[in-house]
């Protein structure tokens, strides 16, 4: 009897805990829904990279340099900052007396964006918001630097992403694009818009081509006497399908469409990089950065880190990121996904570790 009472108490405690968790999650979810009603999709996060790099340098100097040397360095920096502050103040006074707008006297600003593309170019959702924010403040004396990484994907998706970059060019703001890993197919469609296109030595560049592929199970269905019905209006409403019989007429139509898109792609690249020999590079091939430079597909061989650090010497550099608001359930799912990934990583890594012990 005592056992049953203890078991009942255990069940009651467990039920109470579960109920409490459900109430808490529900409260957070309701709060998230109330916030969504305000119409705010997300927020802009801005990080001044000058401060970021200065902080890393200072942390290293604190350990590496002796006290006397460090004291001299700090003294020189304070002196330099004082001179720069004085010059800036004098310039502002001069512009004010001459009737110039104060905004014209600001130090050059470089806005750093990141685009990591997938097949659907989902990152364009953040990119369009980031560009809108930058264009509300930037002028011709500033610069936008995009760190681009993409193997390509859907034509319409990367067409939209490229159109977002055109907004920057239409405002006459210099656009630098850096490719550290890959800018192929739709990725290069974006990259070729740069006023200055920079690639790492072994970055993958090119793949100026168009591809359509899908599996077809028509013969499998036919083998098992399974009928597949498709009703459409319009001669070419459906050409290649997964389950229907593919006709030569359908293949020819898709081939025609692919070649048309390829011609448009080649014209796009040639218009924005007139120095290239388009027929020699529009073969669907890819090249590493140093080879791409020989073909005038990129302008410089350098990493994005080098470009950003160089910019910090003469400009104020800001990394701009648009973060969409996530619901409580989304955040909870993300945490659970991360935990699962870590567990699987540890599980699969353990046998490998044992081999080398």
Residues marked active site are found at 185, 237
131/144 Cα distance (integer angstroms): 9
Any idea what DSSP says for residue 160? H
Under 8 Å between Cβ of 329 and 29 = yes
Torsion, CA 342, CA 346, CA 352, CA 355, rounded to 10: 160
Query: Cα–Cα distances in Å, from 352 out to 57, 219, 339, 341, 349?
Result: 37, 43, 20, 17, 5
- Helix and strand numbers (H, E) in the chain are 12, 9
**CB environment 65-98: b (16+ within 10 A), e (fewer):** eeeeeeeeeeeeeeeeeeeeeeeeeeeeeeeeee
279/226 Cα distance (integer angstroms): 46
For residue 45, give the 3-state DSSP assignment. Answer: strand
19/11 Cα distance (integer angstroms): 12
User: In 171-303, where does DSSP find H-type helix?
Assistant: 186-191, 218-223, 248-272, 278-281, 289-294
């Amino acid at each position: 009897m005592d056992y049953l009472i203890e078991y009942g108490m255990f069940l009651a405690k467990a039920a109470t805990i579960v109920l409490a968790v459900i109430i808490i999650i529900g409260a957070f979810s309701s709060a998230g829904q109330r916030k969504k009603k305000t119409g705010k999709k997300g927020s802009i996060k801005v990080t001044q990279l000058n401060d970021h790099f200065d902080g890393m340098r200072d942390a290293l100097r604190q350990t590496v340099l002796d006290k006397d040397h460090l004291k001299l360095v700090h003294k020189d920096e304070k002196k330099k900052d004082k001179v720069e502050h004085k010059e800036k103040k004098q310039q502002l006074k001069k512009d004010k007396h001459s009737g110039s707008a104060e905004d014209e006297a600001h130090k050059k600003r470089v806005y750093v964006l990141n685009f990591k593309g997938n097949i659907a170019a989902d990152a364009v959702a953040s990119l369009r918001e980031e560009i809108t924010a930058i264009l509300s403040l930037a002028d011709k004396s500033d610069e936008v630097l995009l760190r681009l990484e993409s193997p390509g994907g859907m034509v319409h998706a990367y067409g939209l992403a490229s159109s977002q970059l055109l907004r920057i060019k239409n405002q006459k703001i210099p656009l630098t694009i850096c490719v550290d890993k890959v800018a192929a197919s739709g990725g290069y469609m974006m990259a070729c818009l740069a006023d200055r296109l920079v690639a790492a030595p072994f970055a993958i560049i090119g793949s100026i081509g168009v591809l359509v592929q899908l599996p077809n199970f028509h013969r499998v269905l036919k083998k098992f006497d399974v009928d597949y019905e498709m009703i459409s209006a319009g001669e070419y409403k459906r050409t290649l399908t997964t389950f229907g019989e593919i006709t030569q007429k359908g293949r020819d139509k898709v081939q025609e469409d692919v070649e048309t898109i390829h011609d448009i792609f080649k014209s796009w690249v040639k218009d924005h990089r007139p120095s290239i020999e388009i027929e020699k590079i529009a073969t669907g091939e890819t090249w590493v950065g140093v080879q791409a430079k020989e073909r005038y597909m990129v302008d410089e061989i350098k990493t994005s880190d080098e470009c950003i650090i160089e910019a910090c010497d003469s400009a104020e550099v800001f990394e701009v990121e648009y973060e969409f608001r996530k619901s409580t359930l989304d955040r909870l799912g993300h945490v659970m996904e991360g935990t699962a990934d870590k567990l699987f990583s540890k599980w699969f890594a353990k046998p490998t570790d044992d081999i080398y012990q």
